[in-house]
Amino acid sequence: MSFSKLTRRGLIKTGAAASAGLALPTYLRADGHTGFTNAPTGDTVTLGFNVPQSGPYADEGADELRAFELAVEHLNGGGDGGMLQTFSSKALDGTGILGKKVNFVTGDTQTKSDAARASAKSMIEKDGAVMISGGSSSGVAVAVQALCQEAGIIFMAGLTHANDTTGKDKRANGFRHFFNSYMSGAALAPVLANAYGKDRKAYHLTADYNWGYTTEEAVRSSTEAMGWETVNAVKTPLTQTDFSAYIAPVLQSGADVLVLNHYGGNMVNSLTNAVQFGLRDKEVNGKKFEIVVPLYSELMARGAGANIKGILGSQNWDWKLEDQLGSRYSGTNAFVQSFGTKFGFPPSQAAHTCYVQTLLYADAVTRAGSFNPCAVVEALAGFEFDGLGNGPTLYRADDHQCFKDVVVVKGKENPENSFDLVEIVEVTPAEQVTYAPDHPQFAGGSLGTCNPGA
Amino acid sequence: MFGLDKKDAGLLLIVAILALAAPFILNPFPEGSAMAQFNAGYPDLMQRLVIFGIFAIGFNILFGLTGYLSFGHAAFLGVGSYAAIWMMKLLTMNVIPAIIVSVMIAGLFSLLVGWISLRRSGIYFSILTLAFAQMSYALAYSVLTPITGGETGLQPKYTDPRILDGALPDGQMPRANLFGLDMKDGFELVMGNWVFTFNAGYYIAAVVMLLSFYISIRIFRSPFGMMLRAVKSNQQRMNYTGLNTKPYTLAAFVISGMYAGLAGGLLVAMDTQVGAERMFWTASGEVVLMTILGGAGTLIGPVLGAGFIKYMENIVSKINKTVLEQWFAFMPDGIEDVMVALVYPFVGKGWHLTLGLLFMLVVIFLPGGLVEGGQRIGNLFRSKKAKDTSPDGSKTPAE
């Protein structure tokens, strides 16, 4: 309804004339005689990449988009093939997916669930996308995942860390490669106990939304299980930029560890405030005061600058993994190599997970021999693979969550360049972060059955 | 016809034809052609066009008639949405109860907000409504997470009670319907290279929009509407004559709040998901833009404005670098790069920039909005003096 009135009237007239002329060869068709939504018909297949291009996570979004571009290039046989060389499944041969050339459309989620749904819907309804991937926040991931379930499309989640995505809001058509809050907590707890001792008093500052809640819960329960005490947990508004008022009471509380359940700009600001208040030079209860950031990323480390030095956190993947820890993490170097050649700097973990998700989808389609979402779900559920940078990985059938090693990192003391801000402390093996599908932190959801749409 | 004079009936008829033929009108370009990028005839966008049309029509009853500029109307849309989704979760996936309850709840909420905010006028009123809207947003986003789902929002789940509906087949997701007619049902009409999509949800929304439009015409033409215009032109004089204007402004406020609630309920009926962002202040600002861009105080203006902005948001924002490169591929390399570099800032994520420029142009050169533009073009073609009463109900659209 965007044309001026006159044009519209003109259009009706021409439209009426045209439909009269075309009336003979007309036929009606209901959606999807092919059996599933958006079955690719020509010699191309369209994937939809829905990432934040504006708003607080635009940096991550831009990096994800680069990774998608690279993945499509590799699927179509361009470039050096990246992880296709190292991937344990050899179904992909660089001729697109099932012989169809891969096209993609992009959209802007604006990190808002409404905008993300609108953008994903236009990809499905207008562009005929058969798979949607991307997203840089859990709210968006949950919203788009539910949409894909309804529409009969596969959703390959990008960066989403909250437990809910594969917990109470899991869906049969949705898959998450990225790790989650529970895994962060489980991986960090033993490292924290080693580094700071088992007799610590923790104070949580938590971003006041779903991801913050699940992360706080996860870190709390795993640290309390090994003897820490939680003194207090305070929620901070997501839009807060100055955390001084929240930092001041920390010292009076008698706590000797501050846990910042913050992400992105929030974390950069709260950490900077905490360091400015001199928390890290204080001694409380005869112990040195420490700060912990459960979810880490290179991009955040860059924002926080020198303040990040020595601070512990967890990551899904790091570009130095294979160099430092050997060939268990093969695929890492192949990906960093082709990403670096194309864009001139190493990829972030957001880029890595998006790249891997695209390959995993393409591989599942190829192995299933069909784009039908139900066939893809069957091929991906319970799929074990290797060579995609995280070591041996399982896509668990019960909740469509990937189980793999978690990287515990800390801010590097003497970084050599602006891409080398994070140092790998240790890698927590997958067994230690695996949980039962009905774990209380994930309870209350059901996958349902796959929906092919149509 | 329906108690309307000839001109208004004609206008209603035009809007009806446009709404019903929208799948044709919005898909003028054949599939696969380079221009198919500009097609807007897919269900989701068509639904949004009419739903935000309803939102803007309602806003116009307050702003266009009384001149009270509310900066918090998105709150009513959000409250309506939450009410609708809870009806779907608790009662039934049928959209009728959801929509009715969303209108009622939004009406009650706007009664409360209006009763407080209308104690002041002008900028103070705007700020009060803005404060209420931001409060509602903050409540929905974090404080009331158990009711609103916080950042994640709410969706119908398999495990919801839905006391009026029978049990779902195992593993099936609940879908919004109208007595069994799924909102996503529809068919495609293929004519040569053209594909036109007809969608049940869209036509339900379009019929509701026509009803809302009709009611809005009746309000504009009623003595009540006249009283509201009087408030706009000189409220002080009204007060001096001993007339209490508050009941009138409050009624207008509640009616427009109910329109917003209706839009919110319909949004949920078409796409069963609510997120708190739809109550953010930018969403409130958007409806102000829609109304002014289309022509505040005119009948059809807000609908045009809503359509214009939603089209920009959904179509222009999707033109990315790859698409631009395809467009300019016929040019020599150097020039192609220059053209891409020149156009790129205005499309894709830069669509706000284009919208802002267009908004400035409209406000500076067409203070009456798109409607005034249409009138000027119409007058050129008729090549005679404009009649005193324009088809849109007011001679000089209010700014």
Work out the minimum CA distance from B189 to partner chain A, whole angstroms. 5
How far does B73 lie from chain A, in Å, by closest CA? Answer: 17
pLDDT at A347 over 70: yes
B169 and chain A in contact, CB less than 8 A: no
**Are residues B296 and B398 in contact, defined by beta-carbon separation less than 8 angstroms?**
yes
Least Cα separation, residue A423 to chain B (angstroms):
32
H-helix segments, A76-202: 113-125, 138-151, 181-196
Q: What is the CATH number of domain B6-318?
A: 1.10.3470
Which residue, among A68, A126, A145, A206, would best test binding to B if mutated, counting the most B CBs under 10 Å from its CB? A126
Q: Which residues 353-372 of A have a C-beta within 8 angstroms of B?
A: none
**Side chain identity at residue B134, one-letter code:** Q
- Among A12-16, A286-290, B289-293, B355-359, which stretch is predicted with the lowest mean pLDDT? A12-16
Assess contact for A453 and A153: CB atoms under 8 A: yes
CA distance B295 to B362: 10
ipTM of the complex: 0.84
Q: Is A105 on the interface with B (CB under 8 A)?
A: yes
Distance CA B36, CA B28 (A): 8
Q: How far apart are CA A372 and CA A36, in angstroms?
A: 6
Residue-level pLDDT at A34: 65
Residues 12-41 of A with CB under 8 A from B: 12, 15, 18-19, 22, 25-31
Q: Give A317: exposed, middle or buried? Use CB within 10 Å, 0-12, 13-18, 19+.
A: buried
CB contacts under 8 A, A 372-431 vs B, are: none
Structure-token pair, residue A337: 């190599």
Q: Which residues of A touch B269 (CB under 8 A)?
A: none
Average pLDDT in the B92-100 region? 93
Kindly state whether B317 is in contact with chain A, defined as any CB-CB distance less than 8 angstroms: yes
**A149 neighbourhood in chain B, CB within 8 Å:** 173
What would the pLDDT profile of A266-305 be if each residue is shown by its tens digit? 899 999 999 998 888 888 888 999 999 999 888 888 888 8
A162 to chain B: closest CA residue: B152
CB-based contact, B191 to chain A, within 8 Å: yes
Any B CB within 8 A of A164 CB:
yes
Q: Which two tokens stand for residue A285?
A: 């209860």
Q: How far is B119 from chain A (nearest CA, A)?
A: 30
Who among A12, A28, A149 is closest to B25 (CB)? A12
Distance CA B53, CA B209 (A): 7
Distance CA A197, CA A191 (A): 9
How confident is the model at residue A32, as a pLDDT? 39
Chain B stretch 95-114, residues whose beta carbon is closer than 8 A to a beta carbon of chain A: none
Mean pLDDT, chain A, integer: 88
**CA–CA dist B83, B274 (Å, integer):** 10
Residues of B in contact with A109 (CB under 8 A): none
Residues A32-50, mean pLDDT to the nearest whole number? 83
The encoded tokens of residue A110 equal: 């604006």
Question: Which phi and psi (to 5°) does residue A414 adopt?
Answer: -125, 75
User: How many CA atoms within 13 Å lie on the side-chain side of A326?
Assistant: 3
Q: Per-residue pLDDT tens for B53-65?
A: 999 999 999 999 9
Q: Which residues of B touch A24 (CB under 8 A)?
A: none
- pLDDT confidence of B141, banded at 50, 70, 90? confident
Q: Is the pLDDT of residue B389 over 70?
A: no
Mean pLDDT of B166-194: 81
- The answer to whether the CB atoms of A19 and B191 lie below 8 A apart is yes
> Which among A49, A123, A105, A44 is positioned nearest to A76, based on CA atoms?
A44
- Residue A310 clears pLDDT 80, i.e. is over it: yes
Predicted local confidence at residue B393, as pLDDT: 47
Residue A354 has pLDDT above 90, yes or no: yes
Among A119, A207, A117, which residue's Cα sits nearest to residue A162? Answer: A207
Nearest chain A Cα distance for residue B272, angstroms: 9
Q: CB-based burial of residue A370 (10 Å sphere; 0-12 exposed, 13-18 middle, 19+ buried)?
A: middle
In the chain, the amino acid numbered A451 is N
Residue A24 has pLDDT above 50, yes or no: no
Distance from the B305 Cα atom to the nearest Cα atom in chain A, whole angstroms: 8
Distance CA A100, CA A238 (A): 43
pLDDT score at A10: 53
**b/e code A181-210 from CB counts within 10 Å (16+ = b):** bbbbbbbbbebbbeebeeebbbbbbbbbbb
Cβ separation of B25 and A11 shorter than 8 Å? Answer: yes
Q: Reply yes or no on whether the pLDDT at A60 is more than 70.
A: yes
The residue to which tokens 């309803």 are assigned: B54
Distance CA A94, CA A109 (A): 30
- Cross-chain Cβ contact A53/B349 below 8 Å: yes
Calculate mean pLDDT across residues B232-237: 91
Give A-chain residues touching B190 at CB under 8 angstroms: 26-29
| Spatial contact of B156 and B88, defined as CB atoms under 8 Å apart | yes
Give the model's confidence band at A26: pLDDT under 50 very low, under 70 low, under 90 confident, else very high. very low
Chain A residues in contact with B188 (beta carbon < 8 A): 28-31
Average pLDDT over residues B240-258: 95
pLDDT band at A30 (very low <50, low <70, confident <90, very high): very low
What is the structure's pLDDT at A13? Answer: 54
Q: Which residues of A touch B22 (CB under 8 A)?
A: 1
- Residue contact B192–A22, C-beta within 8 A: yes
Q: Closest CB to A448: pick one of B24, B171, B311.
A: B171
Position A33 scores a pLDDT of 45
What is the average per-residue pLDDT within B306-327?
Answer: 84
Contact B349 A113 (CB under 8 A): no
Would you call A113 an interface residue with chain B, using a CB distance cutoff of 8 Å?
yes
Instruction: Please state the three-class secondary structure of A209-265 as a single string.
Output: CHHHHHHHHHHHHHHHHCCCEEEEEEEECCCCCCCHHHHHHHHHCCCCEEEEECCCH
Distance, in Å, from the CA atom of B379 to the CA atom of A86, rounded to the nearest integer, reads 69
Nearest to A11 by CA among B202, B17, B382, B57: B17
pLDDT of B74: 95
Task: List pLDDT tens digits, range B34-47.
Answer: 778 888 888 999 99
Phi-psi category of B198—alpha, beta or left, where left has phi over 0 and alpha has psi -120 to 50?
A: beta
Question: Is B384 a residue whose pLDDT tops 80?
Answer: no
Strands A131-134 and A406-411: unpaired
Cβ within 8 Å of residue A118, ≥6 positions away: B44, B48, B313, B314
- Of B215, B212, B189, give the one whose Cα is nearest residue B19: B212
CA distance A357 to A165: 15
Q: Can you tell me whether residue A50 is helix, strand or coil?
A: strand
Smallest Cβ distance to B153: which of A3, A139, A451? A139
Q: Do B21 and A117 touch (CB under 8 A)?
A: no
Instruction: Give the amino acid at A3.
Output: F
Nearest to A209 among B150, B191, B308 (CB): B150
CA–CA distances in Å: residue A175 to residues A11, A76, A383, B152, B385: 44, 23, 12, 17, 64
Residue A449: burial class (beta carbons within 10 Å; 0-12, 13-18, 19+): middle
Report the C-alpha gap between A167 and A181 in whole angstroms: 11
B121 interface with A at CB cutoff 8 Å? no
What's the confidence (pLDDT) of residue A7? 56
Return the bridge partners of A393, or none.
Answer: A385
Mutation for A interface: B151, B184, B273, B376, most A CBs within 10 A: B151
Nearest by CB to B377, from A6, A11, A31: name it. A6
Residues 8-67 of chain B whose Cβ lies under 8 A from any Cβ of chain A: 14, 17-18, 21-22, 24-26, 28, 39-40, 42-45, 48-50, 53
B22 min Cα distance to partner chain A (Å): 8
In chain B, where the domains are located: 6-318
Which two three-digit tokens encode residue A45? Answer: 């297949």
Q: Check whether B76 has a pLDDT greater than 90.
A: yes
Average pLDDT of chain B, as a whole number:
88
Residue type, B105: I
Phi, psi of B377 (to 5 degrees): -65, -45
pLDDT at B263 exceeding the cut of 60 = yes
Q: Which of A5, A6, A114 sits opposite B275 (nearest CB)?
A: A114
User: With an 8 Å Cβ cutoff, is B320 touching chain A?
Assistant: yes
Q: Are A28 and B189 a contacting pair at CB < 8 A?
A: yes
Q: How confident is the model at residue A1, as a pLDDT?
A: 40
Name the residue among B157, B184, B273 with its Cβ closest to that of A117. B273
Question: Please, which residues bridge with residue A309 across strands?
Answer: A411
Q: Which residues of A touch B300 (CB under 8 A)?
A: 5
CB count in 10 Å sphere of residue B342: 11
Report how far Cα B22 is from the mean position of its chain's Cα atoms.
16
Alpha-carbon span A445 to B322, nearest angstrom:
39
Whole-number Å distance between alpha carbons of A281 and A393: 40
**Among A102-116, B222-236, B340-354, the range of highest mean pLDDT:** B222-236
Using CB atoms, which residue from B25, B173, B307 is nearest to A448?
B173
Under the banding of pLDDT at 50, 70 and 90, the label for residue A4 is very low
How many residue contacts between A and B have a Cβ separation below 8 Å? 185
User: A114 and B171: CB-CB below 8 Å?
Assistant: no
- pTM score, two decimals? 0.86
